[in-house]
């Protein structure tokens, strides 16, 4: 027997989620605030609820995917006690505190709760390489594994605390934005010189690929709070970053990004951390008490 799934929210992502359940043969009911978005899904067999309460009736798993976690809490609130005994899977983004508040609302009406942090775009739903980080009770996760696994090839349970899945997602995005900003700054310098960025990428591939091998070392140093290193210490980074700032200035391209990095490294070196690994800079980002 396939679980009955209700999908609340039929935006770009919610429609992809409902489509994946229908393709997987799950009885699927749907609801959206603005009517008329379910036509394609109805053609595939979805049943449309006229209200949230109507849509969740009979569902084993209630997936909510709307504009954000606060909206998700409001939408679930419209189901009231009809959620009792069902599993709520909130796939709407938000902060860790907002997601924990949604979990608390679900708990108050007797629903099981999982948060899922989607790490792909809508066309990636159902792809073996797609990732969704889940957090919540292990028993709930295991009970609904088949339903969760339909959406992404990677669906790890990362914590019993729903807020932690949010942080996993933010950690991936934050790393991505740092990488992309650095890459686009480099691309601006390369194209300023008339170098094709694709040629650079092909030729620099071994050097760039080596960077991902760097992360496990940095992660271990942060976890152990041990930043001593025999090679590649902060004082050796300093002249390279100074060169990048001077090169950027001379070309008239943005200096804000490399100057930010220079500021972090120079401050650490001035503070006597010049012989430490780059991982020492985590202290700059930590909560100030
Ligand atoms: N799209 C992606 O590639 C992607 C990737 C990862 C994560 N996500 C996450 O998935 C969630 C949905 O994103 P999306 O891209 O599908 O957004 P979207 O296309 O803009 O759709 C937003 C959905 O939220 C509903 N909504 C907004 N305000 C509402 C309210 N006050 N009450 C009830 N429903 C409301 C909308 O209903 P109406 O139709 O009535 O406006 C619509 O169903 C977000 O948390 C987003 O961060 C999306």
Residues 85 and 98: their CA atoms lie apart, in Å, by: 22
pTM, rounded to two decimals: 0.94
Q: Tell me the C-alpha to C-alpha distance, in Å, between residue 263 and each of 42, 242, 269, 273.
A: 56, 10, 10, 14
Q: What is the pLDDT of residue 288?
A: 79
Q: What CATH class does 5-160 carry?
A: alpha beta
Q: What is the pLDDT of residue 212?
A: 87
196-285 CATH fold: 1.10.1040
Atom of ligand 1 nearest to the CA of 69: 45
- Mean pLDDT to the nearest integer, 181-209: 97
Can you spell out the DSSP letters for 172-231? Answer: HHHHHHHHHHHHHHHHHHHHHTT--HHHHHHHHHHHHHHHHHHHHHHHHHHHHT--B-SS
Closest CA to 127 of 105, 99, 154: 154
Per-residue pLDDT at 289 exceeds 80: no
Q: How does residue 1 score in pLDDT terms, banded at 50, 70 and 90?
A: confident
Atom of ligand 1 nearest to the CA of 91: 10
* Closest CA to ligand 1's atom 4: 121
Distance 92 CA to ligand 1 centre (A): 8
pLDDT digits over 216-239, tens only? 999 999 999 999 998 899 999 999
Q: Scanning the structure block, which residue is given the tokens 């006597």? A: 272
Q: Scanning the structure block, which residue is given the tokens 């990362």? A: 158
Distance 70 CA to ligand 1 centre (A): 12
Q: What is the pLDDT of residue 208?
A: 95
Ligand 1 test: best mutation among 12, 49, 94, 134, most atoms within 8 Å of CB?
Answer: 12
Ligand 1 test: best mutation among 16, 41, 67, most atoms within 8 Å of CB?
Answer: 67
- Mean pLDDT to the nearest integer, 256-275: 98
Share of the chain residues as helix, strand and coil, in percent rounded to the nearest 5 = 55, 15, 30
Q: Scanning the structure block, which residue is given the tokens 């696994």? A: 149
Residues 44 and 35: their CA atoms lie apart, in Å, by: 17
Q: What is the pLDDT of residue 23?
A: 97
Atom of ligand 1 nearest to the CA of 8: 43
Helices and strands per DSSP (H, E), number in the chain? 12, 8
Q: Where are the domains of the chain?
A: 5-160, 196-285
Q: What's the 3-state SS for 86-131? A: CEEEECCCCCHHHHHHHHHHHHHCCCEEEEEEECCCHHHCCCCCCE
First to last CA, the chain: 53
Q: What is the pLDDT of residue 2?
A: 94
Distance 138 CA to ligand 1 centre (A): 27
Q: Tell me the C-alpha to C-alpha distance, in Å, between residue 23 and each of 27, 49, 117, 132.
A: 10, 19, 22, 19
Q: What is the pLDDT of residue 9?
A: 98
* Closest CA to ligand 1's atom 20: 11
Find the residues whose C-beta lies inside 6 A of ligand 1.
9-14, 32-34, 37, 65-68, 71, 75, 92-93, 118, 121-122
Q: What is the pLDDT of residue 287?
A: 82
Q: How does residue 195 score in pLDDT terms, banded at 50, 70 and 90?
A: very high
Q: Tell me the C-alpha to C-alpha distance, in Å, between residue 184 and each of 177, 188, 191, 209, 245.
A: 10, 6, 10, 17, 15
- Cβ contacts of residue 115 below 8 Å, gap of 6+? 89, 90, 91, 99, 102, 103, 134, 135, 136, 162, 163, 165, 166
């Amino acid at each position: 027997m396939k679980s009955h799934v209700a999908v609340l929210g039929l935006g770009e992502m919610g429609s992809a989620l409902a489509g994946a359940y229908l393709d997987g043969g799950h009885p699927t009911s749907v609801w959206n605030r603005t009517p008329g978005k379910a036509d394609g899904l109805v053609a595939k067999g979805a049943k449309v609820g006229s209200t949230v309460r109507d849509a969740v009736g009979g569902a084993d798993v209630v997936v909510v995917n709307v504009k954000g976690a606060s909206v998700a809490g409001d939408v679930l609130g419209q189901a009231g006690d009809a959620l009792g005994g069902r599993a709520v899977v909130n796939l709407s983004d938000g902060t860790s505190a907002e997601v924990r508040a949604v979990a608390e609302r679900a708990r108050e009406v007797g629903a099981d709760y999982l948060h899922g942090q989607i790490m792909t775009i809508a066309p990636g739903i159902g792809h073996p390489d797609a990732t969704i980080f889940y957090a919540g009770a292990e028993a709930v996760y295991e009970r609904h594994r088949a339903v969760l696994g339909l959406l992404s090839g990677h669906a790890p349970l990362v914590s019993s605390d729903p807020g932690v899945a949010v942080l996993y997602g933010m950690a991936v995005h934050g790393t991505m934005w740092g990488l992309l900003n650095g890459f686009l700054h480099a691309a601006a310098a390369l194209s300023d010189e008339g170098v094709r960025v694709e040629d650079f990428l092909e030729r620099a591939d071994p050097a760039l690929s080596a960077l991902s091998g760097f992360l496990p070392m940095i992660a271990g140093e942060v976890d152990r709070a041990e930043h001593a290193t025999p090679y590649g210490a902060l004082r050796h980074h300093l002249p390279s970053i100074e060169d990048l700032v001077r090169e950027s200035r001379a070309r008239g391209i943005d200096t804000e990004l490399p100057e930010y990095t220079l500021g972090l490294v120079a401050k650490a070196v001035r503070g006597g951390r010049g012989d430490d690994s780059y991982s020492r800079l985590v202290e700059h980002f930590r909560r100030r008490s």
